[in-house]
């Protein structure tokens, strides 16, 4: 019988072995060329992401401060009620379609985010940029935070991945690091240290201690003069249960350093949790409020087999959490390599990793049998809910699917026809009832409220890397990041 569990990763003891996650799953490099399918195997090369072209100096001079972030609070209490949408159009052009890369000389951009002051944050390898309202070009800073020593196996990260806006003047930058093998860390001289022992510097050498600090996520901020600085490497757990200087680790058991690579991020744009950020990692989904995190939740399934002594063992199969979305009522939508899930978050951040149904209602933990069997990977890359309540998931290999939830452990899907490719990399649900579909190699498409599918002309580039929808201005803004730059659509 196949058994499935959605929840925080707990220690699984089978035949005196500790297992959390698929031990054969290695952290992949960020997907720079998604139109070329990437084959995951038991021992893939972690690779080194494109580091971009580092800026040789300090940030450029520019205009006055566009908002300084709050200092953040380490508590895990109830958030405020959020703020209403901005009544006017905001600080950016209101034309229906604008190529921001051309108009604002953005240069190469890997990821884009928007903070509460409508500063547009940009990521390019070791460089972090910001385009503030009133500026004609972004200002950049290089080699801060996890990138301060460059990228590579001996640095704090293999590369940068994503950027998300936060409160006014704040952004979050994600990084990728190699997975730890079999819950041990290894020093160059061949010694190994169990991951479930306390990473106490007095007992471990500096190499082992620093291994815990790799990857994860930085918070950066604008200073009073408009430059960019590191605010903090995220390290404050909502339930302190160990050293607080080692980055993001398992909130319910700090010995497990599973969420080492940030693959995607999404900001809650409205509702009671407006401003919170969720990140999808190599292992699960972490919730962030200010500078405090709770790690993690994930839809999973268990693979059962026997060891060499004939004893049953099980391995928790979590997959890479690339697909993240916020439902119409604030539900958190998750898709990983195998599974899809929907969770209703509770007000208390400290409860995010609690699988109690009375705390964080789990609406779904399932796979879609119409796509593949349980054991085969679906490679979900995007998940959204449209205004009519319909769920859609996009796969980098198997196209776009409309999903129906039958109950907590069962969902079904039908494929949406008409796209010229099976590579779907990004989705955005807009207030006019549309679903925008970002493809690998075939550009941007729209499924409108009447379920008519059309291609969007005028967007430069063929591969859509990210879609970011901001409904807090009028007309609403849809940021479309492609392999050719950033375009913004308004009016949906």
Computed from CA positions of residues 192, 195, 199, 203, in that sequence, does the dihedral angle turn out positive or negative? Answer: negative
Name the percent of the chain lying above pLDDT 90. 62
User: Is residue 197 domain-resident?
Assistant: no
- Please tell me the predicted confidence (pLDDT) of residue 191: 53
- Kindly write down the DSSP assignment for every residue of 63-90, as one continuous string: SSP------------------PPPSS--
User: Is residue 208 domain-resident?
Assistant: no
- Percent helix, strand and coil across the chain, each to the nearest 5: 5, 35, 60
Span 331-350, pLDDT tens digits: 999 999 999 999 999 999 99
**333: phi then psi, degrees, rounded to nearest 5:** -105, 130
Residue 84 pLDDT class (50, 70, 90 cuts):
very low
pLDDT at 239 > cutoff 90: no
Span 142-151, pLDDT tens digits: 999 999 999 9
Q: What is the pTM of this model?
A: 0.83
How many independent structural domains does the chain possess? 1
User: Is residue 266 domain-resident?
Assistant: yes
Within 10 Å of residue 239's Cβ, how many Cβ atoms? 17
Span 373-413, pLDDT tens digits: 999 999 999 999 999 999 999 999 999 999 999 999 999 99
User: Is residue 222 domain-resident?
Assistant: yes
User: Is residue 305 domain-resident?
Assistant: yes
CATH number, domain at 335?
Answer: 2.130.10.10
Give how far Cα 450 sits from Cα of 193, 251, 293, 434, Å: 58, 44, 39, 8
Residue 152 pLDDT class (50, 70, 90 cuts):
very high
The DSSP letter of residue 285 is: E
- Please tell me the predicted confidence (pLDDT) of residue 310: 82
Its domain, for residue 78, covers 4-29+46-178+214-490
User: Is residue 126 domain-resident?
Assistant: yes
User: Is residue 209 domain-resident?
Assistant: no
- Kindly write down the DSSP assignment for every residue of 15-70, as one continuous string: TTEEE-S-TTPPPPPP-S-TTSPPPP-SS------------SSSPPP-SSP-----
pLDDT at 21 > cutoff 50: no
pLDDT at 319 > cutoff 50: yes
pLDDT at 78 > cutoff 50: no
> What distance in Å separates the CA atoms of residue 295 and residue 292, rounded to the nearest whole number?
10
Q: Which of 298, 316, 301 is nearest to 19 (CA)?
A: 316
* Range with the poorest average pLDDT among 46-55, 248-257, 267-276: 46-55
- Please tell me the predicted confidence (pLDDT) of residue 354: 87
Task: Judge contact between 15 and 178, C-beta under 8 A.
Answer: no
User: Is residue 370 domain-resident?
Assistant: yes
Strands (E), 351-461: 362-366, 380-385, 391-395, 399-407, 410-415, 424-429, 435-439, 444-447, 453-455
- Please tell me the predicted confidence (pLDDT) of residue 34: 35
**132: phi then psi, degrees, rounded to nearest 5:** -95, 150
- Please tell me the predicted confidence (pLDDT) of residue 356: 81
pLDDT at 77 > cutoff 60: no
């Amino acid at each position: 019988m196949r058994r499935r569990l959605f929840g925080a990763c707990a220690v699984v003891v089978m035949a005196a072995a500790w297992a959390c996650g698929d031990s054969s799953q290695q952290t992949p490099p960020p997907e720079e060329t998604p139109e070329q399918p990437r084959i995951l195997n038991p021992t893939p090369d972690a690779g080194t992401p494109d580091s971009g072209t580092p800026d040789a100096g300090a940030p450029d001079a520019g205009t006055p401060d566009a908002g300084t972030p709050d200092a953040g609070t380490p508590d895990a209490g109830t958030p405020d009620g959020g703020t209403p949408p901005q009544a006017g159009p905001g600080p950016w052009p209101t034309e229906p379609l604008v190529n921001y890369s051309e108009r604002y000389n953005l240069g190469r951009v890997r990821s884009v985010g928007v903070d509460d002051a409508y500063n547009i944050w940009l990521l390019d390898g070791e460089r972090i940029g910001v385009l503030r309202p009133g500026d004609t070009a972004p200002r950049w800073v290089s080699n801060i935070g996890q990138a301060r020593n460059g990228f590579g196996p001996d640095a704090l990260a293999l590369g940068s991945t994503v950027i998300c806006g936060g409160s006014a003047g704040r952004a979050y930058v994600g990084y990728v690091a190699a997975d730890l093998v079999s819950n041990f860390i290894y020093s160059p001289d061949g010694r190994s240290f169990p991951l479930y022992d306390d990473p106490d510097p007095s007992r471990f050498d500096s190499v082992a201690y620093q291994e815990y600090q790799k990857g994860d996520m930085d918070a950066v901020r604008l200073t009073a003069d408009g430059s960019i600085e590191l605010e903090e490497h995220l390290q404050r757990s909502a339930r302190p249960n160990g050293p607080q200087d080692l980055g993001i680790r398992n909130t319910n058991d700090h010995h497990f350093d599973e969420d080492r690579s940030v693959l995607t991020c999404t900001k809650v744009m409205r509702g009671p949790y407006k401003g919170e950020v969720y990140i999808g990692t190599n292992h699960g989904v972490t919730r962030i409020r200010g500078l405090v995190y709770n790690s993690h939740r994930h839809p999973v399934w268990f693979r059962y087999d026997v060891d060499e002594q004939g004893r049953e063992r099980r391995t928790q199969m979590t997959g890479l959490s690339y697909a993240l979305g916020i439902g119409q009522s604030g539900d958190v939508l998750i898709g990983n390599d195998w599974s899809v899930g929907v969770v209703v978050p509770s007000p208390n951040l400290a409860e995010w990793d609690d699988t109690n149904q009375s705390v964080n209602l789990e609406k779904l933990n399932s796979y879609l049998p119409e796509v593949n069997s349980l054991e085969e990977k679906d490679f979900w890359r995007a998940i959204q809910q449209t205004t009519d309540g319909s769920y859609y998931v996009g796969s980098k290999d198997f196209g776009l699917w409309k999903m129906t939830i039958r109950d907590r452990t069962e969902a079904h899907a039908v494929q949406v026809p008409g796209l010229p490719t099976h590579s779907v990399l990004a989705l955005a649900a807009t207030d006019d009832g549309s679903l925008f579909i970002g493809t690998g190699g075939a550009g941007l498409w729209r499924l409108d409220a009447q379920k008519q599918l059309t291609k969007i002309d005028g967007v430069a580039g063929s591969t859509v890397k990210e879609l970011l929808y901001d409904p807090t201005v009028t007309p609403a803004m849809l940021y479309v990041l492609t392999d050719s730059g950033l375009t913004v659509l308004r009016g949906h």
